[in-house]
């Protein structure tokens, strides 16, 4: 119900609806509604509950003015248990229309369109999303298995194909070579588009593939723009569009987009991670630090996954002291690459070189992001090794390669003809 309500309310267009990631952190919270509203930056809160008695279910919803704590509207909906999932969309539509009337007294009444929902289909999809959100390699693969079952059960549901594409994107560069999985992600995204061209998530997924795998900038921008058009309240669409624009060197546009993403999902770690990266690529390190500091407020034990997250902290001692820093002995290959980058930028050359040697050995049996290796070598002044790793990144189609144009860590390589050739091969025409 929460997801369905957010989806339908977002379609009103005249309101900003906070994303599920941020909203669900308040489930069961004892905070006053006014405090929650202040933390999320909203004017009103839609509260709801579900009560079951035997085979009877009552859904109650109430719209509350956050400033006055007064009820603007409330209503209950009664259903038999067997019909709840089948009429979920109907109830969400009815609630949305009531809120629409509160916002715009002249709004023309719309007849909610009931949508039959298959309980097993929903269960598989949400279980898959749950595991995907966990982020580890094992959890992502569990999510893929649920989406695969969902496709077998309901082959016409575009959501499972879009989620499958997202899963392959999550695996790529972090755990496995993009060359090994992103073609599968691309086919999944294209299938999702074929099934439902009006689903914003489909265009976000395909845009990410065009961006990180195809290195097709015009097509990527077109997909992100379409996603925003279909769902202006999608924080994912604005976030991806912002990161894309940042890597194209269009900093002002990128910052504008990432600010919208933050307003829609203010408690999302992923949004703040990428917001910091957008500011870093724009060479606004102080603002990057501010974004990454927000992550520590949300999750004090957040472990970074790319070296980029350590950079601005290291350059500002006060912020760096607050950062959670896993030890190299406890880190996996992904975290080890981040730690190596931290040591390189800190000037700890001996430790950085020791870790690079260790990562080089790991790379012979497990995927290690070539781009992260290249940036560490570049910071240490090892130009030839940096270029060698970037060349490997091209062959592996590293999803980080679009950073080539804007990443400050590679400034020492920009005058080299080989680096200029890499830019062209990635798609940056000079």
Is residue 206 domain-shared with residue 321, that is, in the same domain? no
pLDDT at 190 (0 to 100): 97
51 and 165 share a domain? no
The domain that holds 88 is classified in CATH as 3.40.50.10070
Residue 334 resides in a domain: yes
Tally of CA atoms within 13 A in the half-sphere of 160 that contains its CB: 22
Residues 366 and 406 in one domain: yes
| Whether 45 and 90 share a structural domain | yes
| 323, 430: one domain | yes
Tally of CB atoms within 10 A around 261: 27
275 inside domain? no
Of 250, 243, 248, nearest in space to 270 by CA? 243
218 within some domain: yes
**Domain-terminating residue out of 232, 256, 275:** 232
Six-digit token string for 428? 């940056």
Same domain, 108 and 73: yes
- C-alpha 329/C-alpha 317 separation (Å) is 24
Give me the residues of the chain with pLDDT under 70, please.
Answer: 13, 81-90, 103-117, 300-335, 338, 342, 430
Question: Is there a single domain that holds both residue 192 and residue 139?
Answer: yes
User: Do both 99 and 55 map to the same domain?
Assistant: yes
For residue 157, the domain's CATH number is 1.25.40.10
pLDDT at site 255: 97
Residue 374, domain member (yes or no): yes
Domains of the chain: total: 3
Q: How confident is the model at residue 429, as a pLDDT?
A: 73
Burial group, residue 364, by CB count within 10 angstroms (0-12, 13-18, 19+) = exposed
In a shared domain, residues 417 and 324: yes
CA distance 227 to 82: 34
Instruction: Kindly report the number of other CB atoms within 10 A of residue 197's CB atom.
Output: 12
Domain boundary among 66, 86, 117: 117
Say if 396 falls within a structural domain: yes
Q: Are residues 105 and 137 in the same domain?
A: no
Taking the C-alpha atoms of residue 71 and residue 254, their distance in angstroms, rounded to an integer, is 38
Report the C-alpha gap between 363 and 430 in whole angstroms.
33
Q: Which of 117, 134, 167 is the last residue of a domain?
A: 117
Q: Does residue 326 contact residue 335 with C-beta atoms inside 8 Å?
A: yes
Q: Is residue 297 part of a domain?
A: no
Question: 126 and 106, same structural domain?
Answer: no
Q: Which of 289, 330, 295, 294 is nearest to 311 (CA)?
A: 289
Non-local CB neighbours of 429 within 8 Å, separated by 6+ positions? none
pLDDT of residue 257: 97
pLDDT of residue 323: 46
Q: Is residue 267 part of a domain?
A: no
205 and 155, same structural domain? yes
Helix axes 269-281, 308-315, angle to 10 degrees: 70
Contact 91, 69 (CB under 8 A): no
Query: Does residue 308 belong to any structural domain of this protein?
Result: yes
Q: Which domain holds residue 186?
A: 118-232
């Amino acid at each position: 119900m929460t997801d369905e309500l957010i989806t339908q309310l977002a379609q009103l267009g005249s309101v900003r609806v906070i994303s599920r990631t941020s909203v669900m952190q308040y489930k069961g919270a004892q905070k006053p509604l006014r405090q929650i509203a202040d933390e999320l930056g909203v004017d009103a809160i839609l509260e709801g509950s579900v009560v079951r008695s035997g085979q009877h279910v009552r859904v109650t919803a109430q719209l509350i003015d956050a400033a006055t704590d007064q009820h603007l509207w409330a209503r209950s909906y009664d259903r038999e248990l067997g019909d709840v999932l089948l009429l979920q969309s109907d109830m969400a539509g009815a609630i949305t229309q009531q809120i629409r009337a509160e916002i715009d007294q002249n709004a023309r009444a719309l007849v909610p369109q009931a949508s039959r929902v298959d309980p097993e289909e929903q269960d598989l999809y949400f279980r898959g999303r749950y595991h995907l959100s966990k982020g580890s390699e094992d959890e992502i693969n569990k999510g893929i298995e649920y989406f695969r079952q969902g496709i077998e059960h309901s082959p016409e549901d575009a959501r499972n194909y879009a989620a499958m594409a997202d899963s392959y994107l999550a695996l790529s560069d972090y755990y496995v070579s993009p060359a090994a999985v992103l073609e599968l992600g691309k086919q999944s995204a294209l299938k999702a588009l074929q099934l439902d061209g009006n689903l914003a998530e489909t265009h976000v997924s395909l845009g990410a593939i065009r961006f990180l795998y195809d290195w097709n900038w015009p097509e990527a921008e077109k997909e992100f723009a379409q996603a925003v058009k279909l769902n202006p309240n999608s924080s994912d669409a604005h976030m991806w569009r912002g990161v894309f624009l940042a890597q194209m060197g269009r900093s002002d546009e990128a910052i504008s987009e990432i600010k919208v993403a933050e307003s829609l999902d203010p408690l999302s770690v992923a949004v703040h991670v990428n917001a910091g990266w957008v500011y870093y690529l724009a060479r606004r390190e102080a603002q990057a630090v501010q974004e990454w500091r927000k992550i520590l407020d949300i999750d004090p034990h957040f472990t970074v996954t790319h070296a980029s997250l350590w950079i601005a902290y290291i350059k500002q001692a006060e912020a760096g002291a607050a950062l959670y820093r896993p030890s190299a002995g406890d880190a996996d290959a992904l975290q080890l690459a981040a730690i190596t980058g931290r040591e390189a930028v800190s000037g700890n050359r001996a430790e950085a070189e020791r870790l690079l040697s260790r990562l080089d050995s790991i790379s012979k049996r497990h995927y290690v992001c070539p781009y992260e290796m290249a940036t560490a070598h570049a910071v240490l002044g090892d130009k030839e090794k940096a270029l060698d790793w970037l060349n490997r990144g091209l062959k592996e189609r590293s999803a980080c390669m679009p950073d080539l144009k804007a990443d400050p860590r590679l400034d020492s390589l920009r005058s080299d003809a080989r680096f200029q050739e890499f830019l062209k091969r990635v798609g940056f025409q000079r």
